Amino acid sequence: MNILSLGGFTNLGYRLRARDFEPIDADMSGKTVVITGATAGLGLAAASRLAGLGARIVIVGRNPEKTERVQEDIRDATGAEVTHQIADLASMAEVADLADRLLAAEPRIDVLINNAGALFNERFVTEEGLERSLATNLLGHFILTNRLIPRLIESAPSRIVNMSSGGMYSERIAVDDLQFESGDYTGTAAYARTKRGQVILTEKWAEQLRGTGVVVNSMHPGWASTPGVSDSLPGFNRVMGPLLRTPEQGADTMVWLAAAPEAGEISGEFLLDRTPRDTHMTARTRETPQERQMLWDRLEQLAERVSS
């Protein structure tokens, strides 16, 4: 990864590219958007903007009081219909229950945005025996998405948007060590591996869903100022502060993928600032076709294990 690429992750890169952006000309009236991690940062910015385009928003959060407050704030600011569901995506039992509740409550789902994610500086294993980064950033969304895909197909044309990270450029997927049990654990590496996994899953879902009317894309927001960044990477946040994007700038591509008519014509891409990007900067991070399938199979195995 070169310094020019990194410069594009800043607010300077966003402002330069945004000069060529067309306004998102979309009427989302009658469409339902489910977005995880929507109570702060990028998710909140995207939920607010999509509500402003007329979408019915289902925000998914962990904290009931905070989630209800955000629901009311978005509704008051936009006049849109906003509802919520409570779930911790680190708990696969809660993810399964969330999926059941969404299927029962939502006769249509037009957009699913897998935005929730976190960087944990210490390795922690959940009660279900899952490393927390893997559970929160990858397996939870794998289970939720697969459970909701039939409803997305019924609602087609529909969209899935996966929030990845530029950090994934630094890591190769480790299919033999998804739970980071080998070597010294580092939060940034664990996070980057899960974000690499999200990109691989995006490409596999796009292949599987070709011809169904469901498009699937991943994106990264650049370097944005969010509570997650300030909490997990305080040194980075302090040094890069003036160059960090606002949540609204970081969420722009998420909103574009969810709403823009032209975004419905692409699938299986990884985007920054509304433009598809290479998913590897060097050959070191490239996975084989066998490893891609192994990732899918092992996530399925983990999902089956925790549900039994």
Mean pLDDT of 266-290: 96
pLDDT in tens, 87-131: 999 999 999 999 999 999 999 999 999 999 999 999 999 999 999
Please indicate whether residue 191 is annotated as part of the active site: yes
- Distance in angstroms (rounded) separating the CA atoms of residues 233 and 230: 6
Provide the pairing of β-strand 56-61 with 82-86.
parallel
pLDDT of res. 131: 98
pLDDT above 90 as % of the chain? 89
Residue 3 has pLDDT above 60, yes or no: no
CB of 149 within 8 A of CB of 179? no
Q: At 8, is the pLDDT very low, low, confident or very high (cuts 50, 70, 90)?
A: confident
pLDDT of res. 1: 42
CB of 131 within 8 A of CB of 123? yes
Provide the pairing of β-strand 275-276 with 270-272.
antiparallel
User: CA end-to-end span of the chain, whole Å?
Assistant: 42
106-110, 178-182, 220-224, 244-248: lowest mean pLDDT where?
Answer: 220-224
| Secondary structure (3-state) at 59 | strand
Catalytic residue (one of 14, 169, 185, 191) = 191
Q: Write the DSSP symbol of residue 286.
A: P
Both tokens assigned to 65: 């009081």
CA dihedral 46, 203, 154, 57 (to 10 degrees): -10
Q: What is the Cα 115 distance to its own chain's centre?
A: 3
pLDDT of res. 33: 98
CB of 290 within 8 A of CB of 296? no
Beta strand residue intervals within the chain, DSSP E: 32-36, 56-61, 82-86, 111-114, 158-163, 214-219, 270-272, 275-276
pLDDT of res. 242: 78
pLDDT in tens, 177-218: 999 999 999 999 999 999 999 999 999 999 999 999 999 999
pLDDT of res. 198: 98
Residue 16 has pLDDT above 90, yes or no: yes
| Secondary structure (3-state) at 184 | coil
177 compared with 226, residue with greater pLDDT? 177
| Secondary structure (3-state) at 167 | helix
pTM across the whole model: 0.94
12-16, 98-102, 213-217, 241-245: lowest mean pLDDT where?
Answer: 241-245
pLDDT of res. 308: 75
Please list the alpha-helical segments (H only) found in 108-156: 132-134, 140-154
- Distance in angstroms (rounded) separating the CA atoms of residues 183 and 185: 6
Which residue, 129, 151, 152, 132, is CA-closest to 140? 132
Query: How would you classify residue 32: left for phi > 0, otherwise alpha for psi between -120 and 50, otherwise beta?
Result: beta
Mean of per-residue pLDDT scores for the chain: 93
DSSP conformation letters of 196-253 = HHHHHHHHHHHHHTTTTTEEEEEE---SB--HHHHHH-HHHHHHHGGGPBPHHHHHHH
Q: At 243, is the pLDDT very low, low, confident or very high (cuts 50, 70, 90)?
A: confident
Both tokens assigned to 220: 């990264």
Cβ neighbours around 66 below 10 Å, total: 12
Which residue, 156, 68, 62, 172, is CA-closest to 117? 62
pLDDT of res. 85: 98
* Domains of the chain from N-terminus onward: 27-307 (3.40.50.720)
CB of 72 within 8 A of CB of 47? no
pLDDT of res. 233: 63
Both tokens assigned to 267: 């699938």
Instruction: Give the type of residue at 99.
Output: A
Q: Which long-range contacts (CB under 8 A, 24 or more apart) does 22-25 make?
A: 24/53, 24/255, 24/256, 24/259, 24/260, 25/260, 25/261
CB of 132 within 8 A of CB of 90? yes
Mean pLDDT of 43-60: 98
